Amino acid sequence: MMQVPFLDLGAAYRALQPEIETALLQAARSGVYIGGGALQDFEQAFAAYSGSLHCVGTGNGLDALRLALMALDVGPGDEVIVPSNTFIATWLAVTQCGATLVPVEPDPSSHLITVDAIAAAITPRTRVILPVHLYGQPVDIDAITTLAREHGIRTIADAAQAHGARFDGQPIGGAFDLCTWSFYPSKNLGALGDGGAVTTNDPALAERVRLLGNYGSREKYRFEQAGINSRLDPLQAAILSVKLPWLDAWNARRQSIAARYQAALADSDWQLPQVSPRVSPVWHLFVVRHPQRERMQQALRERGINTMIHYPIPPHLQAAYQGQWPTDAFPVARQLASDILSLPIGPQLSDAHLNFVIDTLQTL
């Protein structure tokens, strides 16, 4: 029986195997294992690619979020607005800074938080608005930056799922005060291990992120701040530099797969993600909804098609946040968790597999 993987990271590696292995050997033989030219080269290339002036590599996407919040001096007593439906890292970063989470519900048709929901959650204690460009679709950057400016509030975007996405035709890496990225292997731009970055147009914020991620130190053995150790390895940076020139083509393949799903499922029981005409999403995930999600996922599995759920339990219902919100809080996030399904998508998904998934979906 045909087996359609949800995502084939082995195939992604083989697509660039000689180039990646050359870069790996070079990095291993370079004698430079923290910082150095390979890291600088990637940071410069990714800043330019993401439409920002500065990029600072970090150890992972969670640390990129923590460092962005630390750079803005967010701490106890500060409120940070986050989506009620996101990967838990967005929430953990806020918690780990000692600040207060203020989750807002998404628009269920786009899965994104809207400026109206954010505006309703603002209080005198709001320090940061932290939206997520979830599944690769940018939030309304224009409306949110305007709202934040009116209230004197800072903005951080969690772009861990949105490398290459555009808003009004522009890349998104310089749009908010800070923008955070993850290079976790399955992301649109993925390393062979953990990695992350913060991008910004503000040189002072970039400097602070770099300082705080390097033990609070600029000069060896002098510590200006109580920082953390979270840097992007030059080995991972070298791999990411090999992959970056291919990212637009990979995202274009994701977009053409998404277009096939959209056309095939237009008049069906599947509810498709609504996309703003102002954005160009990069479809980190293609998330559809179905009232009989469990039955559908099982039927697809029986036919060899592997799907996933992003995410099956909203953050406020996780044991990590037990007792902090009533279980009936955030009904939109709970509803989405119960009916969403992520279909196979990725640059290496073949036409044969895609056709099979679409034929199967249409006959279920």
Binding site for ligand PLP (CB under 6 A): 60-62, 86-87, 89-90, 132, 158, 160-161, 182, 184, 194, 196
CB of 287 to ligand PLP, least distance (A): 12
CB nearer to ligand PLP: give 136 or 344. 136
Three-state SS string over 96-154 comes to HCCCEEEEECCCCCCCCCCHHHHHHHCCCCEEEECCECHHHCCCCHHHHHHHHHHHCCE
Q: Least distance from C-beta 60 to ligand PLP, angstroms?
A: 4
Is 136 within 8 Å of 282 (Cβ atoms)?
yes
Tokens of 120: 């309703």
Q: What minimum distance in Å lies between the beta carbon of 301 and ligand PLP?
A: 24
Residue 362 CB, shortest distance to ligand PLP, in Å, is 30
Cite the beta strand spans of 23-95 per DSSP E: 54-58, 79-83
Q: Which is nearer to ligand PLP, 64 or 354 (CB)?
A: 64
- Using Cβ positions, the residue closest to ligand PLP within the complex turns out to be 61
- CB within 8 A of 171, min separation 6: which ones? 49, 50, 51, 52, 164, 165
Q: Which lies closer to ligand PLP via its Cβ, residue 139 or residue 354?
A: 139
Tell me the closest approach of the beta carbon of residue 166 to ligand PLP, in angstroms: 18
Name the minimum Å distance from CB 186 to ligand PLP. 8
Q: Which is nearer to ligand PLP, 160 or 239 (CB)?
A: 160
- Edge to edge, what strands does the sheet with 79-83 contain? 54-58, 196-200, 178-182, 154-158, 126-129, 79-83, 100-104
CB of 66: closest distance to ligand PLP in angstroms?
10
- Between 182 and 361, CB nearer to ligand PLP: 182
- Looking at the Cβ atoms of 86 and 307, the one nearer to ligand PLP is 86
By C-alpha distance, which of 340, 162, 348, 182 is closest to 253? 348
- C-beta of 197: minimal distance to ligand PLP in Å? 10
Spatial separation of the C-alpha atoms in residues 42 and 46, rounded to whole Å: 6
Residue 85 or 201: which CB sits closer to ligand PLP? 85
**At a CB cut-off of 8 Å and minimum separation 6, what does 50 contact?**
159, 163, 171, 172, 173, 174, 179, 181, 199
Residue 48 and residue 174 in contact, taking contact as beta carbons nearer than 8 Å: no
Q: Which residues on adjacent β-strands are paired with residue 271?
A: 289
Radius of gyration of the chain (CA): 20
Given the complex with ligand PLP, which of 47 and 65 has the nearer CB atom? 65
